[in-house]
Structure 1
Amino acid sequence: MSKEYSQENTDVAVRSSATAEDLPDASFAGQQETFLNVSGAAELINAVRNCFASLFTDRAISYRETFKYDHFAVGLSVCIQKMVRSDLGSSGVAFSLDTESGFKDVVVINGSYGLGEMVVQGSVSPDEFMVFKPLLKEGYDAVIEKKLGVKDRMMVYGDGPEERVKIIDVDIDLKEQFCLDNEKIIQLSRWVMHIEKYYSALKNKWCPMDVEWAIDGLSNKLFIVQARPETIHSRKDNDTLIEYVLLPHGAMALVKGIAVGDRVGVGKVKLMNATNKGMTEVQDFRAGDVLVTEMTDPDWEPIMKKASAIVTDKGGRTCHAAIVAREMGIPAIVGCGNATAVLSDGEEVTISCAEGETGVVYKGCLPYDVVQTKISDLPAIRTALTLNVASPSLAFRFSNIPNKGVGLVREEFIINNYIGIHPLALLKHKSLSDPKLSQAIQSRIVGFEDEVDFFISKLSFGIAKIASAFYPNKVIVRFSDFKSNEYFNLLGGKYFEPQEENPMIGWRGASRYYSDDYKAAFELECKAIKKVREEMGLGNVVVMVPFCRTVEELLKVKAVMADYGLLPGKDGLELYLMAEIPSNIIMAGEFAEHINGFSIGSNDLTQLSLGLDRDSSLVAHLYDERNPTVKRMLAHLIKTAKECGVKIGICGQGPSDYPDFAQFLVEEGIDSISVTPDSVIKTIKAIHAVEKKIKEKELPLL
């Protein structure tokens, strides 16, 4: 090797390959030692001996004990490889599936500067890239995610024989750049797909792969330095859904409220103050605690993700806490009124949302069953069942649930979680004479060309992750529907938002898009949709206009969309209208002339039809989509849509909460019903029951 590379003693890596590493029920990867930048015969032999000896480190012995493997049945070979000079470039790992959910259709790449051990050992927070395999095969630039890591340290060659490698700080300009450009991301993804295809053919079954890669800083060439089968998600059963059932008990009910979802959670109460957003207490909040507070807002989501359950004094079934809890699959009880006064910090409780519409907080940790349902055993239904999905990070996990696509993607959730900055503040902060705001914005857009590229890229990545999870099924993306008070809370929002007495029926939805005061921000949304559809190839994305009060307003929005390159009908782009205002129902025939379909927003429609605040716990007992007024309006809309030949579905919360409401919609002839992922099983069963009755009565679906 030294002769081949014209060196006296060439630099090599000494790496292990144990027979136990690829056993089907455990991954032994990384248990044995690797030695980098080894040179000279004596040093090489010593490294080989130490590599064999690493079979019996405390770490390796403990791991084998955990999985009950015979310590002397594990074989090990040593591989000697020419070093790739990634100490002058970058390196990392790549998987041919999503490592969190097991979703098959993506390549996930992690990378950092320097030698790869820092990424493999988890010593740095690497950059992350994600590529959608089906559209990469078709030639699209299918990079659907880029996340900048904290690459503050890197491993490089040491200064001599006594120091083969060392760790140094990364220059600040490198830290603020992605370690891979798009060309290398695409090249690496193609190679990973090729390796997966090879091993799958070899094993005669799908074989996802765990690959280590490195870029030589001298030649700028990409190398694959290791590939092994992935052993966790490839063995999982993807044909099972889960239901929670609380077992019989005599525990005291401490608090009651509105149940969100249908799960059960247990843990210790952590009371948090809503007025200061609890930020001083974040470090004290432990994974598995039950979050108990007055109410939540988007700033709380990092805490909510760690919670085993959420309980709030205020709010209704469509408040922030409820929506986020559903997306994350966390049981929540909202609108309790007195939870913060009754529950004590550190108290053990059980949160049950598995007993119907009313959620109950019980004293103590109660036992419950988790009922598993085989997807293949669920009855077939004729009505298209789609999902409401807001969180891109959960989309891959939801993709295995029976569905015909996504009936609602809320852009405002992506903007809030991925971007966190008011779009007009991004565009105009330099003219505001607010150095703190400008500094905060500059720190967030690191890694992107400028403010515009940051917004368009981040929004398009969020949409693309959801669209790819359900590809090629249709994914309906609703343009942003922030209210002015919600936009105000975004970074820089105070400079651009009015103070409205009732934001719920104020400057929101369609009225913003053609307004001179907001149109520049809407342009960014349109460009993100174009990027997803045209550059990434996700033509299954269609768009929806929310809170559109008049036909004239709809025409203005369509004109603005056309100005920004979004033409309904071109390349299969469809346009839907959120039917959530009484005028949408009364003028349905006129609206239908300009759209491809309606999607019922039963939350706002119920509120505006009955004249109540849906987030007020004081009138929560009146809020019910099954009210005769609402049902009569929906029946009229479905009939009108059918007469006009446009599609009609629902994405509001009603069918998720009330199976009988879903049955009513099926009887009226609705085309599709979109529900939250945790409501799929009961909704399928409810729809099947009513479709069976219709068939028995020989009453065809309209």
Structure 2
Amino acid sequence: MAREAEVIAFEKLRRADVAIVGGKNSSLGEMVQSLGDMGIRVPPGFATTANAFRRFIEENDLATVIRDTLAAYADGRMTLHKAGETIRAAIVAGHWPEETEAEIREAYRALSKRAGSDDVSVAVRSSATAEDLPDASFAGQQETFLNVVGEDALLVACRKCFASLFTDRAISYREAKGFDHLQVALSVGVQQMVRSDIGGSGVMFSIDTETGFDKVVLIDAVWGLGENIVQGIVTPDAYQVYKPFLDDPALSPIIEKKRGAKEKKMIYAGAGEENPVRNVPTSKAERARFVLTDDEVIALARMAATIETHYGVPMDMEWAKDGVTGELFIVQARPETVQSQAGALSLHRFSVGAHGDTVVSGLAVGDKVATGRVCLIDSPEDIDNFVDGAVLVTANTDPDWVPVMKRASAIVTDHGGRTSHAAIVSRELGVPAVVGCENATYLLHDEQEVTVSCAEGDVGFVYDGTAEVTVEDLDLSDLPETKTKVMLNLANPATAARWWRLPADGIGLARMEFVVANTIRVHPEALIHFDKVEDEDERAEIEALTEGYDDKTDYFVDRLALGLARLAAVAYPNPMILRMSDFKTNEYADLLGGAPFEPVEANPMIGWRGASRYYDPAYRDGFRLECRAVRRLREEIGFDNVMVMIPFCRTPEEADRVIAVMEEEGLVRGKNGLQTYVMCEVPSNVVLAEDFAARFDGFSIGSNDLTQLTLGIDRDSDKLAPLFDERHPAVEWMIRTVIEKAHGAGAKVGLCGQAPSNYPEFARVLVDAGIDSISVVPDSFVHVKRHVADAE
């Protein structure tokens, strides 16, 4: 019988060959064979087979060493560290079977010839036959060796890959997952290096790794080779792209861009250095700019969507950009193993009440909250000092940390992004983590009682002391259908995707001012007239925020459009009603550089706010920036589901002036399907409802302000609080009247105030009055939906 080949080129492998060459290598072969014609570039290479591994083990009689050593560990006669060290040393010291070695050498020579080189530089990666299963990721457990040059160096790297099947973390993980140590074999993938050492590299997912939102691609990017991003040593650039728009070449559906610190990069080492790669600090210029252009981000996202469609499941991929040719390559692809396995019929909502001071903050991983005492660990050599249930605080983690990570109540790191090792493993373990804090190991100390919160959006917080924490389960399995649309009030782009599974009919109120205050932070007039900002500290902060923008107003338009896009993405294709900025003058003055542009008013609540600002020469140019952001959101990014709503519009004549400015900026009612709404929060909106209906497609009742002005009560007054009631008969009369008048004029009416959220039974009154839609905060959605169904 002819001897089976122990080395196979990627071109001859398919996805079904996991048992032969493991998950990574079978996936590479699948992409080379099936996706090359669809624009997916994969660097060429070959894989050793599982039989090559088994033959190596047999030839060196290593099964006995492995079995006896693991038995000693199981009986307590040997530590995990000593057991792993013993097995690895035996494997590295082994010799190659003659035929296996010859095949590896021959395949390497062929790859070098194909690359036009005597000795091509290759990446040598481990690919275990049990990895990348639906419920087990084996993330980063086996070793990878980069910039390996020459046949002899390759053979050494392959032995080290074999040995890495028995690292401490791999032994521990297999035991936790119930895998037999001797039944798992290892294939080695040998792949031509992409010159990302002088380009860039990173990781991407075809699903939101925190919320499971399946309509986005997440991309992280760093300068140089990709090992730093996986190990969490650096904080990468981060991008989000909306998948449904990728087929339209006229759109640029990037909905998030964050520039990371990118503190260092991994490059090829010089000739004669012991390690073939090394880390060097990045330059100030590299830290200040993005690794990828927008076109490259879109190109990668299209690759991710193509790969996901082919595999039929959400995918976790690694990519590299060649610094010589500028080409983008996919160097690994595997199924995502956390969110794709999560249930969809219930939501668990953690919320934080009273809490101590914020000690540090970073990127939130997961959506849970945990409390515990800090256990500060500097090195994996010290993990024996870890106390079960403590909050693990360290600079960054790698696979050596897994045995202690699963014993932690929460994890906090100085470095890393959402695709770092700490983030990936924390997700799989279900342990909340805050990564990339920069100075957690400096500010936190051993045995300090803290609360780690990942329940407040993209940003995770570490609070001093034990906070008040509540957990609520929302059951979505049997929600009734309703004729009345039940929509959401959303303002924070960072938390919006948490609610994508709610069967809402869209977003009934998206508050622009939240994005301005929390993301942009600068008064628009301060960007237009920067020379009028005299405070030196504010000038410095504005300069830092707008770094990279030649025109400071572009910063406002860009960041506002991106922030709003993350909201619109959750609603699409259902409508999102976007209220233009509705700050009061005192709130505008609190923005960076805002004070010189705002008057001091005795009662800002009924002062220069809403529509009255938009046509006034003192703010009109700021409103124009808002309009440009909305136009970009609708026409360039693609969210034509966004409607525009004008707040606090006192008279029809005022509406005409605002509409004129909007039209000058290309926001024309009816053009490209644009609908416009007006807030109904001033009694004149009810009295003159027919006149307003002639100018707008609909009304959205703001029950807070309408109650305030109907009853003549300052809603912020403690003295008058007992009298403030949105259910008062006078307010109800206003609501019923505007619905009747608006419907008579062919306009729609919704309500986006607090009343239904605070009093779900109030939904019955609205349904009886014939309301078209009710918009509530996400926490109240399930209760209000049921009340609406009962009322109908």
Q: What TM-score do you get using the length of structure 1 for normalisation?
A: 0.80
Which amino acid in structure 1 is aligned with residue 301 of structure 2?
Answer: S
Q: Within 1, Cα distance between the matches of 2:322 and 2:773? A: 52
Aligned match of 1:73: 183
2:624 pairs with one of 495, 519, 523: 523
How far apart are residue 403 of structure 1 and its match? 0.9
> Is the contact made by 2:351 and 2:455 (CA closer than 8 Å) also made in structure 1?
no
The residue aligned with 2:12 is none
CA shift in 2, pair 1:129/1:2, >3 Å: same
Measured in 2, the distance between the counterparts of 1:123 and 1:602 equals: 50
Counterpart in the other structure of 2:336: 230
Alpha-carbon distance, 1:479 to partner: 0.2
Report the Cα distance in structure 1 between the residues aligned to 2:316 and 2:371, rounded to whole angstroms. Answer: 34
Out of 640, 661, 665, the residue aligned to residue 762 of structure 2 is 661
Cα distance in structure 2, aligned partners of 1:519 and 1:219 = 47
SS at match of 2:115: coil
Alpha-carbon deviation of 1:197? 1.1
Equivalent residue, structure 2, for 1:58: 168
Residue 40 of structure 1 corresponds to which residue in structure 2?
150
Query: CA offset at residue 530 of structure 1?
Result: 0.6
Give the distance between the partners of 1:616 and 1:24, measured in 2 at CA: 56
- Quick check: 1:30 aligned with 2:140? yes
Does residue 177 in structure 1 map to residue 285 in structure 2?
A: no
Match of 2:479 in 1: 378
The 5 Å alignment of 1:266-415 reads 270-271=355-356, 288=370, 371=473, 373-375=475-477, 377-415=478-516
Please, which of 534, 541, 550 is the counterpart of residue 642 of structure 2? 541
Matched, 1:105 2:215: yes
**1:287 CA displacement:** 6.2
User: Between Structure 1 and Structure 2, how many residues are aligned?
Assistant: 594
In structure 2, the residue matched to 1:135 is: 245
Letter in 2 for 1:41: E
Give how far 1:447 is off: 3.6
Name the counterpart of 1:488.
Answer: 589
Q: Is the 8 A contact 1:91 1:112 kept in 2?
A: yes
| Contact 2:558–2:629 under 8 Å retained in 1 | yes
Q: Is the 8 A contact 1:329 1:678 kept in 2?
A: no
Taking the aligned partners of 1:265 and 1:493, their CA distance within structure 2 comes to 31
Deviations 1:246-296 (A, max 9, x none): xxxxxxxxxxxxxxxxx7768xx6455xxxxxx7x6689x96579xxxxxx
Q: In the alignment, residue 26 of structure 1 is paired with which amino acid?
A: A
CA distance in 1, matches of 2:197, 2:167: 27
1:147 has 2:147 as partner: no
Distance apart, 1:185 and its partner CA: 1.1
Q: Is the 8 A contact 2:526 2:532 kept in 1?
A: no
| Cα distance in 2 for residues equivalent to 1:548 and 1:289 | 47
State the shift of 1:436 in Å.
3.4
Amino acid at match of 1:209: M
**Map of 1:89 onto structure 2:** 199
Call closer, same or farther: CA 1:497–1:636 in 2, change over 3 Å.
same
The residue type paired with residue 259 of structure 2 is L
Measured after TM superposition, the shift of residue 371 of structure 1 is 4.6
Alpha carbons 2:369, 2:455 under 8 Å: kept: no
Residue deviations 1:491-545 (CA, integer Å, cap 9, x gap): 1111211111111111111111101001111111000011011111211011000
Change (3 A) 1:689 1:283: closer
Matched, 1:646 2:757: no
Structure 2 counterpart SS, 1:20: coil
Q: 1:383 to 1:289 in 2, by over 3 A?
A: same
> Does structure 2 retain, via aligned residues, the 8 Å contact 1:589–1:641?
yes
- Structure 1 residues 615 and 52: CA distance shift in structure 2, 3 A: farther
Whether 1:5 aligns to 2:115 is yes
Structure 1 residue 327, shift from structure 2 partner: 8.0
Change in CA separation of 1:587 and 1:329 when aligned onto 2, cut-off 3 Å: farther
CA contact (8 A) 1:398 1:677 kept: yes
Per-residue CA distance 1:558-614 (angstroms, 9 max, x = gap): 011111111111111111001111111121121111000000001111122222232
CA contact (8 A) 1:412 1:481 kept: yes
Give the superposed CA RMSD: 2.6
Q: Which residue of 2 aligns with 1:208?
A: 314
Q: Within the alignment, does 1:117 sit opposite 2:117 as a pair? A: no
Offset at residue 218 of structure 1 (A): 0.8
Matching residue of 1:699: none
Instruction: For 2:433 and 2:528, locate their aligned partners in 1 and report how far apart those are by CA, in whole Å.
Output: 34
Over 3 Å counting, the alpha-carbon distance change for 1:152 and 1:3 in structure 2 is same
Whole-Å separation in 1 of the counterparts to 2:178 and 2:562: 43
1:197 aligns with 2:309: yes
Which position in structure 2 is the counterpart of 1:456? 557
Q: How far, CA to CA, are the matches of 2:467 and 2:234 in structure 1?
A: 37
Matching residue's letter, 1:221: E
Structure 2 Cα separation of the partners of residues 328 and 85 of structure 1 = 36
- Give the distance between the partners of 2:666 and 2:140, measured in 1 at CA: 50
Deviation at 1:58, TM superposition (A): 1.8
2:458 touches 2:495 (CA, 8 Å); kept in 1? no
Q: 2: distance between equivalents of 1:271 and 1:431? A: 38
Aligned mates of 1:265, 1:86 — CA distance in 2: 43
Corresponding residue for 2:74? none
Deviates most, 233-242 or 627-636: 233-242
Match of 1:240 in 2: 346
The 1:489/1:70 distance shift into structure 2, 3 A limit, reads: farther
C-alpha displacement at 1:643, in angstroms? 0.9
Which of 236, 246, 270 is 1:159 aligned to?
270
Equivalent residues of 2:369, 2:469 under 8 A apart:
no
Relative to structure 1, is the Cα distance of residues 472 and 155 closer, same or farther in structure 2, using a 3 angstrom cutoff?
same
Equivalent in the alignment of 2:390: none
SS at match of 1:22: coil
Alpha-carbon spacing, 1:157–1:400, altered in 2? closer, same or farther (3 Å): same
Tell me the SS of whatever aligns to 1:31. Answer: coil
Matched to 1:5, the amino acid is A
Whole-angstrom distance in 2 between the partners of 1:50 and 1:148: 36
Give, in whole Å, the separation in 1 of the partners of 2:348 and 2:150.
58
- Return the index of the structure with the highest Cα Rg: 2
Q: Equivalents in 1 of 2:563, 2:776: separation in Å?
A: 20
Aligned-partner SS, 2:486: strand
Contact 1:289–1:306 (8 Å) recurs in 2: no
Q: Which amino acid aligns with 2:247?
A: K
| Aligned residues of 1:589 and 1:640 also touching (Cα < 8 A) | yes
What's the offset of the Cα at 1:633? 0.8
Alignment of 1:665-680 (within 5 A): 665-680=766-781
Alignment partner of 1:478 out of 568, 573, 579: 579
- Which residue type is aligned with residue 295 of structure 2? E
**3-state SS of paired residue (1:159):** coil
Aligned counterpart, 2:76 = none
8 Å CA contact 1:548–1:554 kept in 2: the answer is: yes
List gaps (5 residues or longer) in structure 2. 1-110, 363-367, 373-431, 435-453
**1:155-202 deviations in whole A, cap 9, x for unaligned?**
1011134121111111111211111001111111111111111111xx
- Alignment correspondent of 1:620: 721
Deviation at 1:31, TM superposition (A): 1.2
3-state SS of the aligned residue for 1:3?
Answer: helix
Residue identity in the other structure for 1:526: C
The amino acid across from 1:25 in the alignment is D
